[in-house]
Amino acid sequence: MMNLTTMNPDTRRLIKVVPDDIKRTEEIFDILMGDNLQGRKDFIVEKGADYADMLDIS
């Protein structure tokens, strides 16, 4: 499945991301990828619906 999507050299793309607020970006990365599982769950419950329209589910 990865070869058909993410890893396919014909369709993959790299996008450089430059955050405006580095401190806030670090905080969000820590929440979403850090060791605090309950904090991550709480964040998703609280904020997840705000981003549902951005999901690319196909």
Q: How far apart are the first and last CA of the chain?
A: 13
Contact 6, 12 (CB under 8 A): yes
Supply the Cα-derived Rg of the chain in whole angstroms.
15
Half-sphere exposure (Cβ direction) of 29: Cα atoms closer than 13 Å? 7
Q: What is the pLDDT of residues 5-51, one digit of tens each?
A: 788 888 888 889 899 999 999 999 999 999 999 999 999 999 989 98
Give pTM, 2 decimals: 0.54
> What integer pLDDT is reported at residue 8 of this predicted model?
84
Distance CA 43, CA 32 (A): 8
Contact 31, 43 (CB under 8 A): yes
